[in-house]
Amino acid sequence: MFQKRYSRATSTSSRRNFSRPGGRSSGPNRGGQRGFRGSFISIDKFINKAAPVTDVPAEAYVPETPFADLKINSRLKTIIAQRGYKLPTAIQDKTIPHILLGKDLIGLANTGTGKTAAFLIPMINKMLTNHDEKLLVVVPTRELATQIQEEFISLSRGLNLFSVVIIGGANMHRQISQLRSRPNLVVGTPGRLKDLVQQKKLDLSRFSNVVLDEADQMLDMGFIGDIKFLLSFLTQKKQTLFFSATLPPAIEHLIKDFLVDPVRISIRNQATPAQIDQDVVRVRQGEDKIEVLHNLLSKAAFQKVLIFARTKSSTEKLSKILGVRGFKAESIHGNKSHGKRQQALKMFKEDRVEILVATDIAARGLDIPNVSHVINFDVPATYEDYIHRIGRTGRADKTGIALTFVS
């Protein structure tokens, strides 16, 4: 249960500038337009009981090739074993052998299935075979870029391989200085990568490997022009990997232009994980939405909660309101500096705060342990966004709960 110091003085201000679920918002949406222009989602899609827990274990995926039997560098095998990994996930098992053979690949998989290691393990092996090999990873958010670098550092410890994160909101001069060390991995967001290429500080002609991670989200965020720009600078003969949850038409177009005879691997199963209990919270006419949320958070079961709001301003405002009411809450959104976003995320991961209020930048790719509840304070713009939001809970075969506010 969260410790709280409830103050009635905040209740009037609490009601200002929060949109009704499915209604219109006073701030810009993620595309920069005013008002909420999401697609209609039936309330029924937010209700789905988790599969009952039984004494009979679910049928586990049996990989074709354990990590110990992969044809990779022995030092890399040792690192994988030291991390306690014996068996690959389905997406890792099905993609790693093709990537090791140098094939272009499209990997479709649900969130939380181990896609990062699926491309990092074979790419690190490639770097150990030829130290001149360089990998560019393009991602939609700063948080995901940082998380991928952390995974790379963990998997390449002691192997004399180096990485740089190139993202907006961070010191560009420091990034330029780090690029002079000729890193093996450059991971970044499209806008800042493009800036440094145009300034001739990042020479992509030396890169013969590229990964687009969460490709569908990047295209949805309007990065297709930047992605085409970046890919045009890589070596003509290159290995290209696309990892995504869905395969929209824009990605199909990129495939034709930049991938050669790609292998397609799809591990997508049902839309939402079976271990997530999904339900709605109905806000009756005249009820204060903040009061309803407060009463939920006061319950003992709400131990580590990720709350999604629609806009950057409403995210920050909700976080502050919860703080005034005595809850330990932080926020993460695009108006915060990279350093403050990372600090908030770190505090939430380390359980120093119990509530993280976020926009959809926290809906993709981030691995946050032991999130007990995901609350959609504002209805997501699309059902695909909903799937990714609730995927932050119920991870590692644990049961999670997702609640969506509706009126």
- Whether 368 is covered by a domain: the verdict is yes
Mark whether 150 and 13 lie in a shared domain. no
- Whether 186 is covered by a domain: the verdict is yes
CA 346 to mean position of chain CA atoms: 15
Q: Which of 229, 246, 287 is nearest to 405 (CA)?
A: 287
Per-residue tokens: 373: 């509840």
Which domain, by its residues, includes 234? 67-266
Mark whether 246 and 290 lie in a shared domain. no
What mean pLDDT comes out for the span 308-336?
Answer: 94
- Domain end call among 242, 266, 290: 266
What mean pLDDT comes out for the span 34-40?
Answer: 55
| pLDDT-wise least confident of 1-5, 183-187, 288-292, 391-395 | 1-5
Mark whether 217 and 294 lie in a shared domain. no
Between residues 54 and 200, the one the model is more confident about: 200
Q: 365: pLDDT confidence band, cut at 50, 70 and 90?
A: low
For 341-354, b/e burial (b = at least 16 CB within 10 A) is bbebbeebbeeebb
Q: How many helices (H) and strands (E) does the chain have?
A: 14, 13
- Whether 230 is covered by a domain: the verdict is yes
Q: 382: pLDDT confidence band, cut at 50, 70 and 90?
A: confident
Instruction: Provide, rounded to the nearest whole percent, the portion of the chain with pLDDT above 90.
Output: 60
pLDDT attached to residue 316: 96
Look at residue 407 and tell me whether its pLDDT is greater than 60: yes
Look at residue 1 and tell me whether its pLDDT is greater than 60: no
What mean pLDDT comes out for the span 64-77?
Answer: 95
- Whether 56 is covered by a domain: the verdict is no
Q: What is the number of structural domains in the chain? A: 2
Mark whether 195 and 313 lie in a shared domain. no
Mark whether 244 and 322 lie in a shared domain. no
d(CA 80, CA 121): 9
The helix/strand/coil state of 196 is helix
Residue-wise pLDDT for 72-102, tens only, equals 999 999 999 999 888 999 999 999 999 999 9
Mark whether 203 and 252 lie in a shared domain. yes
Mark whether 201 and 81 lie in a shared domain. yes
Residue-wise pLDDT for 177-223, tens only, equals 999 999 999 999 999 999 999 999 999 999 999 999 988 878 767 78
| CATH assignment at residue 142 | 3.40.50.300
d(CA 243, CA 215): 6
| Average pLDDT over the chain, rounded to an integer | 85
Mark whether 321 and 380 lie in a shared domain. yes
Q: Which of 391, 165, 387 is nearest to 271 (CA)?
A: 387
Look at residue 175 and tell me whether its pLDDT is greater than 70: yes
Residue-wise pLDDT for 332-360, tens only, equals 998 888 789 889 999 999 999 999 999 98
Mark whether 187 and 257 lie in a shared domain. yes
- Domain end call among 233, 248, 266: 266
Q: 38: pLDDT confidence band, cut at 50, 70 and 90?
A: low
For 359-389, b/e burial (b = at least 16 CB within 10 A) is bbbbbbbbbbeebbbbbbbbbbbebbbbbbb
What mean pLDDT comes out for the span 56-61?
Answer: 58
- Domain end call among 266, 287, 305: 266
Q: 324: pLDDT confidence band, cut at 50, 70 and 90?
A: very high
- Whether 198 is covered by a domain: the verdict is yes
Residue at token pair 């201000």: 13
Mark whether 253 and 328 lie in a shared domain. no
pLDDT attached to residue 228: 92
Mark whether 240 and 302 lie in a shared domain. no
pLDDT attached to residue 24: 32
- Whether 59 is covered by a domain: the verdict is no
- Whether 127 is covered by a domain: the verdict is yes
What mean pLDDT comes out for the span 155-173?
Answer: 94
Instruction: Provide, rounded to the nearest whole percent, the portion of the chain with pLDDT above 70.
Output: 85
Residue at token pair 């806009």: 311
Torsion of CA 288, 289, 293, 295, to 10 degrees: 20
Residue at token pair 């976003």: 341
- Whether 58 is covered by a domain: the verdict is no
Look at residue 323 and tell me whether its pLDDT is greater than 70: yes
pLDDT attached to residue 138: 97
Contact 310, 36 (CB under 8 A): yes
Between residues 349 and 38, the one the model is more confident about: 349
Mark whether 128 and 222 lie in a shared domain. yes
Contact 63, 87 (CB under 8 A): yes
